[in-house]
Structure 1
Amino acid sequence: MHKGKGMKFVGDSRISAERKPNIPKDYSEYPGRTEAFWPNFLLKEWLAGSVFLVGFLCLTLAHPSPLEGMADPTDAAYIPLPDWYFLFLYELLKYEFASGDFILLGMLVLPGLAFGALLLAPFLDNGPGRRPHQRPVAVGMMLLGLVSVVWLTYTSASHVDWESRAEANKPIPASEVTIDTEHPGYASYENSCVACHGAELEGGAGPALVGSDLSAEEIATIAVEGIGSMPADQFQGTDEELEQLADFIVTVNESAE
């Protein structure tokens, strides 16, 4: 207080009188130890993720995954395979210590230990350093897991002829098939055949009928007597309806040629 001068306030020297925008803390005095999350660390992570994503997209364009036809439970010769990212687990189950009497070991115990170890790796090796040689436990476990997955996947995939497999199970494009719903035999096909052979004769639980070179008489015989895994008496109708059904299937095949 000063007489005649009114009241004055004394500011605290620990508080800046100027307002500054929110900026990350300066870590230059601690080089190599830590850094600001935004933008330093986040930018590095984004760049690394972008490089991986672009590389992965290029790989999928250069080597597209082969698509197969619909599953056919009546084909006992077909050997199902998991997608490529599960092939290493599929290959693991071929070894004696992970199959047969030890199937639970291969299905649950070994994968559980492997993935659990990777989850615990950052906690088992929580040193302050970020360089690989400063984190031997975490880096070693990650390299061991990576090498194991790559080797098992390569071993499993090397025994499969992917091109022949895809060609043998190649679905027939719907555009090549013309379905005449006005044909007299279409109603019989819907009642007796569509559940197994598909709405466009493309196959399903039963084989595809498109592309067949069977005659109308052969088709009628098979519909009544069955063939292979197809039981007899699948067709329930009159002789006239049977002839119409056989003619319908032949007509569809002629339109697909």
Structure 2
Amino acid sequence: MKKGKGMKFVGDSRISAESNPHIPKDYSEYPGRTEAFWPNFLLKEWLVGSVFLVGFLSLTLAHPAPLEAVADPTDAAYIPLPDWYFLFLYELLKYEFASGVWTIMGILVIPGIGFGALFLAPFLDQGPGRRPHSRPIAVSMMLLGLASVIWLTYASVAVVDWETRAEENQPIPEQDVEIDQEDPGYAIYENNCMACHGDDLQGGASGPSLLGIDFSAEEIATISTDGIGDMPPDQFTGSDEELDQLVDFILSVNEDAE
């Protein structure tokens, strides 16, 4: 009896004769064009990441970033800057088309278009090749985005002397000054100035320190009545004689602080 003679083969209609198109082929079917994810590809990614991390840490140790003082809510003249990785957005808001009445363009529309384009790049360019010239749309969008971020960051950093800024924005050391509460000017200070400048003249939540100021008696009197900066006018409500006593008190405390 010959092999297979008299045997019948019955097909099952429930099993598709075609392969499932959603199951990718094994990488071995593309010799020289791809490789196993583990461990080949993952090892390369880990090595590249390690080299970058070591280089970044070495740069940090060789040239540490200058640090400023802890944020002071009483310093109304301080201009904060964002962290370095947001400086490109900070610089973008300086242009006319992204500032003023067009601020919404700078904070939402333009960044949204940029990041949205990078998100859509893989879907817009679905070529099978992995070389840059085989994926012109995705590569062009990535290079444009990278160049924009680098240029805006450089333009923002180039105009700032970070070391000088850090030196200028250091906290003023607290001074141990003895306040003469028997001085007639202290009662006037208590009624007119203490709420903002504190009971020891070292400043409070809404007023700067009055120690170490470089103002004459006339300037202090003018500021007390007319205001300055965020200080509104008419904060002092006493007589001219009381104003003189207040000015003498502030000057005497500063002389003791020296």
* Letter in structure 2 aligned against 1:253: A
Alignment coverage as a number of residue pairs: 222
- Name the Cα RMSD after superposition: 4.6
Structure 1 equivalent of residue 60 of structure 2: 60
CA contact (8 A) 1:223 1:232 kept: no
Residue 35, structure 1, aligned to residue 36, structure 2: yes
Question: Which TM-score applies when normalising by structure 2?
Answer: 0.60
Instruction: Tell me: CA distance 1:40–1:74, structure 2 relative to 1, closer, same or farther (3 Å).
Output: same
Residue 150, structure 1, aligned to residue 150, structure 2: yes
Q: CA–CA distance in 2 between the matches of 1:72 and 1:249?
A: 21
Report deviation, 1:204: 5.6
SS in 1 for 2:165: helix
Mean CA deviation greater in 63-72 or 114-123: 63-72
CA distances 1:177-224 after superposition (whole Å, capped 9, x unpaired): 4477x98699x98x9647656999377643344544679x89x96996
Alignment of 1:132-147 (within 5 A): 132-147=132-147
Unaligned runs of 5+ residues in structure 1 are 1-25
Q: CA–CA distance in 2 between the matches of 1:161 and 1:193?
A: 36
* Letter in structure 2 aligned against 1:124: L
SS in 1 for 2:32: coil
Report deviation, 1:160: 2.6
CA contact (8 A) 1:67 1:170 kept: yes
Report deviation, 1:114: 0.1
Report deviation, 1:51: 2.4
Question: Which TM-score applies when normalising by structure 1?
Answer: 0.60
Alignment of 1:1-257 (within 5 A): 30-37=31-38, 39-61=39-61, 62-68=63-69, 70-72=72-74, 74-75=76-77, 79-173=79-173, 177-178=175-176, 193=194, 201=202, 205-212=206-213, 227-229=227-229, 230=231, 233=235, 250=254, 253-254=257-258
* Letter in structure 1 aligned against 2:35: T
SS in 1 for 2:126: coil
SS in 2 for 1:163: helix
Report deviation, 1:47: 2.4
Unaligned runs of 5+ residues in structure 2 are 1-25
SS in 2 for 1:67: coil
CA distances 1:157-193 after superposition (whole Å, capped 9, x unpaired): 222333333333222356xx4477x98699x98x964
Instruction: Tell me: CA distance 1:193–1:234, structure 2 relative to 1, closer, same or farther (3 Å).
Output: farther
Q: CA–CA distance in 1 between the matches of 2:68 and 2:204?
A: 15
Instruction: Tell me: CA distance 1:247–1:120, structure 2 relative to 1, closer, same or farther (3 Å).
Output: same
Q: CA–CA distance in 1 between the matches of 2:106 and 2:223?
A: 45
Report deviation, 1:150: 0.8
Instruction: Tell me: CA distance 1:98–1:74, structure 2 relative to 1, closer, same or farther (3 Å).
Output: closer
Instruction: Tell me: CA distance 1:110–1:136, structure 2 relative to 1, closer, same or farther (3 Å).
Output: same
CA contact (8 A) 1:114 1:145 kept: yes
